[in-house]
Structure 1
Amino acid sequence: MHDLTTDVDDDTSVSNSPFALCLTHDVDRPYKSLFQALYYALVDSDPSHLASTLPEENPYWQFETIMSLENDLGVRSAFYFLNEPDLFHEKPVQAWTQSDNWIQQMGRYDITDSEVASIIRTLNADGWEIGLHGSYQSYSDKLRLTYEKAVLESILGETILGGRQHYLNLDGSETWRYHAEMGLRYDASLGSSTEYGFTNGYGVKRPFDDEFIVFPLTVMETTLPDPGEHAEHARTVCERLLSEARDHGAVMTVLWHPRYFNDQEFPGYADLYRFLIERARELDAWIGPPGELYPHLVNRATPTTSSKLSERS
């Protein structure tokens, strides 16, 4: 696997930036299920969680909140939508005994539902990137991945460039081979759900030495110090990561799940996301979704010493 040079002299706003900050959101649970509410009510000894599942409540539907925040900051991001198979209608009976399948079923939503399909189209029309969030077991199932891509594109009315696998699941480079053969141009699954940092290098990757690109995940919001309890510590960690990205000409990719913009249940996470973007702008970063950066990376010129975005690992 080789790092990809990010010489992009054809685009001044990118080539003159010392590093890139790619913003992504995995749409795992746009609705809070009764199962989740019961769990949190027991863990937190707080029955108010049950009230959040009432029809007029929808604490995990945070699309408008994110759109407003990013509009205010003048940036766009990528939303990766999940199409998890229905346990009772799309999986064999023997799968009903597996706990992982029940966990996925409890948080499942229907991507073709009119409300979900409408927000997908709205986001796309207003400049946000829409991508594929491959279902839990699809990383080793090319047929399922192909189906999920086709359904999402039928809703969108156009092709998608890339996405990320659910739970960051990967079958080595085989999953990426599936992606490439399906027509996806990038993946953003390489990373950790327990640690933050540039453990997979400062640059993007080309596993097949062609135009298929891998964007390593630098930080998922849950790996950071809880900003609701340790706001200053969380900001310090983000500041350190941004400085490291600038110093190494990195492509830094971050993941904020939409439900974490619900300040009542996840206090401090929306403010931390705003801080991250505002501080990156102060450091002259290019900021946007991976799909917007992709063509500048793949259409690069021959590496030169004038390139500001690095291919270092």
Structure 2
Amino acid sequence: MYDKLKENEELWELFTRKEEYSATLRDAYERFPYYLSGHRNIFEPRVSKFLLENGLKPQYPEEKKFAVCLTHDIDAIYPPHPIVESFRALSRGKLAEAMKTPFSRVNRKWNPCWNLREILALEEKYNAKSSFYFLALTSGEADFNYNIKDLESELGIISDSGWEVGLHGGHESYNSFEDLQEKKRRLEEVLGRTVIGYRNHYLRFKVPDTWELLSKAGFKYDTTLGYSDCAGFRNGMCHPFRPFNLNEGHQIDIMEIPLVIMDRSLFRDYMRLDVKKAWECAKHLINTVEKYNGVITILWHNNTCIEGENLKYYEKVLEYCAAKDAWITSGEEIYSWWTNKIEPGI
């Protein structure tokens, strides 16, 4: 496959993200954003289309046409600013919520972000499974919100139910082998099993260095490669792939399951779409991936899966994909399937 792709210089550069190797401009989090990219057709998976035309033949369990890699980044379990959240609830006229929020750390029933089991139940309703990526930070690190040891029972329920627990690397993990190793060890110690899946916090990523570090640290797949500031296909792919290191001239021993849709990209933080336009965007991307028999990775944070429009939107996505008879599952299961069923034939 690589040999055929290399013959098309434009697509090879898009696939390998060549423009990112020499990029000097980055955003505040050292990320390469979509607005700096020279490849503007973000909603068309041009590389996947080329590979399909040249022999790639994806297949999925029970002859399903496409797959959904369903994921959650667990950034916060507790409201980071409970007093502020309480005042916000008051401004919306929700007196009961305003009274409960300051005490959400001591009473889990009053904590809307302690909703991991509710997410499992919702996904089970649509015969879906997903991946939960947990931070394993220590007090004092940026964005520390919870001690992973305090979530041991929740991790056990997720894993024992057949869903996946993966690592959500901290701010510096994308650029530090030692940090990756330590956070992986910390999570595995609590989980009691090997962790193979990864996504970095804030989608911080450096091409190709982060892939090399993840491979060296023992991860089997990553699902960070997507833009924060725009949904779509960052390297023209809507299929899992093995990255290629242009500096070293070799394939990297890790699978990338590229991120396509993130909740915060669609709404307030970046694209600023209203619910109707966000739905049209998501539906277009889902239909496109179905057309190319691909895998669409969707990221919905647990603190977005609470009451209101965002939760309704998430269920609408589940309902739409289930109605299309997609294989809706975790990154771990997609990695295993692709490794055993697709790659040997490529």
Measured after TM superposition, the shift of residue 230 of structure 1 is: 4.3
Q: CA RMSD in A?
A: 2.6
Q: Say whether 1:53 aligns with 2:102.
A: yes
Deviation by residue 1:224-270 (Cα, 9 ceiling, x = unmatched): 257xx94433332222111111112221100000011111xxx1222
Question: Relative to 1, partners in 2 of residues 1:243 and 1:44: Cα closer, same or farther, differing over 3 Å?
Answer: farther
Q: Say whether 1:302 aligns with 2:339.
A: no
Once the two structures are superposed, the pairs formed by residues 155-174 of structure 1 within 5 Å of their partners are 155-174=190-209
Measured after TM superposition, the shift of residue 12 of structure 1 is: 3.9
Question: Relative to 1, partners in 2 of residues 1:256 and 1:52: Cα closer, same or farther, differing over 3 Å?
Answer: same
Measured after TM superposition, the shift of residue 184 of structure 1 is: 0.5
Q: Which runs of 5+ in 1 are unaligned?
A: 92-100, 304-313
Question: Relative to 1, partners in 2 of residues 1:39 and 1:31: Cα closer, same or farther, differing over 3 Å?
Answer: closer
Question: Relative to 1, partners in 2 of residues 1:250 and 1:37: Cα closer, same or farther, differing over 3 Å?
Answer: farther
| Equivalent of 1:69 in 122, 140, 151 | 122
Q: Say whether 1:38 aligns with 2:91.
A: no
Q: Secondary structure at the match of 2:134?
A: strand
Question: Relative to 1, partners in 2 of residues 1:135 and 1:282: Cα closer, same or farther, differing over 3 Å?
Answer: same
Q: Say whether 1:111 aligns with 2:148.
A: yes
The one-letter code of the counterpart of 2:139 is D
Give, in whole Å, the separation in 1 of the partners of 2:197 and 2:242: 14
Q: Which has the higher contact order (CA 8 A, sep 6+)?
A: 1
Q: Say whether 1:17 aligns with 2:54.
A: no
CA contact (8 A) 1:85 1:135 kept: no
Correspondence for 2:211:
176
Q: Secondary structure at the match of 2:213?
A: helix
Q: Say whether 1:260 aligns with 2:332.
A: no
Q: Which runs of 5+ in 2 are unaligned?
A: 1-14, 17-46, 245-250
Deviation by residue 1:139-162 (Cα, 9 ceiling, x = unmatched): 112111101111111111111111
Q: Say whether 1:244 aligns with 2:288.
A: yes
TM-score between both structures, scaled by the size of structure 1: 0.80
Deviation by residue 1:98-138 (Cα, 9 ceiling, x = unmatched): xxx4xx24xx210012xx11100111001110100001111
Q: Secondary structure at the match of 2:276?
A: helix
Correspondence for 2:235:
200
Give, in whole Å, the separation in 1 of the partners of 2:85 and 2:312: 26
Correspondence for 1:215:
257
Question: Relative to 1, partners in 2 of residues 1:43 and 1:195: Cα closer, same or farther, differing over 3 Å?
Answer: farther
What count of residue pairs does the alignment treat as equivalent? 276
CA contact (8 A) 2:79 2:85 kept: no
Give, in whole Å, the separation in 2 of the partners of 1:40 and 1:203: 43
CA contact (8 A) 1:225 1:233 kept: no
Give, in whole Å, the separation in 2 of the partners of 1:282 and 1:214: 27
Give, in whole Å, the separation in 2 of the partners of 1:211 and 1:249: 24
| Equivalent of 1:149 in 166, 184, 192 | 184
Question: Relative to 1, partners in 2 of residues 1:241 and 1:36: Cα closer, same or farther, differing over 3 Å?
Answer: farther
CA contact (8 A) 1:132 1:162 kept: yes
Q: Say whether 1:232 aligns with 2:269.
A: no
Give, in whole Å, the separation in 2 of the partners of 1:213 and 1:49: 44
Correspondence for 2:73:
26
Correspondence for 1:271:
312
Give, in whole Å, the separation in 2 of the partners of 1:19 and 1:199: 19
Deviation by residue 1:1-21 (Cα, 9 ceiling, x = unmatched): 567977466x642xx232211
CA contact (8 A) 1:76 1:127 kept: yes
How much identity, in percent, do the aligned residues show?
29
